[in-house]
Amino acid sequence: MSNESESPVLASVIEPAAVVPAVAEEVLDERVCQFLVARGRLKETDLVRGRRLHEEDTTGSSLLSLLTRLGLVSERDMAEAMSELMDIALLPPKEFPETPPPNVQLSVRFLKQVHVCPIAETDEEITLLIANPADAYPLEAVKLATGRKVQVRLALRSEIDDLIERYYGQGRSAMGTIVENLSDESGAARTTSSICATWRPRRR
Predicted confidence band of residue 27 (pLDDT cuts 50, 70, 90) = confident
Residue boundaries of the structural domains of the chain: 3-20+90-198, 25-86
Whether the predicted model's global pTM rises above the 0.75 cut: no
Mean pLDDT to the nearest integer, 168-196: 51
CB count, 10 Å around CB of 38? 10
Strand order in the sheet with 116-121: 116-121, 125-130, 149-154
CA distances from 173 to 42, 148, 168, 178 (A): 42, 20, 8, 9
At 67-122, the pLDDT tens digits run 999 999 999 999 999 999 999 999 999 999 999 999 998 999 999 999 999 999 99
Q: Average pLDDT over the chain, rounded to whole?
A: 79
Query: Between the CA of residue 43 and those of 25, 30, 36, what are the distances in Å?
Result: 21, 14, 8
3-state secondary structure 156-189: CHHHHHHHHHHHHCCCCCHHHHHHHHHHHHHCCC
Topology of the domain covering 25-86: Ribonucleotide Reductase Protein R1; domain 1 (1.10.40)
* Backbone φ and ψ of 145, nearest 5°: -70, -35
Query: Confidence band (pLDDT; 50, 70, 90) for 196?
Result: low
Mean pLDDT of all residues in 35-53: 95
Label residue 23 by pLDDT band (50, 70, 90): low
- 22 backbone φψ class: left, alpha, beta (φ>0; ψ -120 to 50): beta
Q: How far apart are CA 16 and CA 48, in angstroms?
A: 38
Confidence of residue 58 (pLDDT cuts 50, 70, 90): confident
What CATH fold (topology level) applies to the domain 3-20+90-198?
Answer: GMP Synthetase; Chain A, domain 3 (3.30.300)
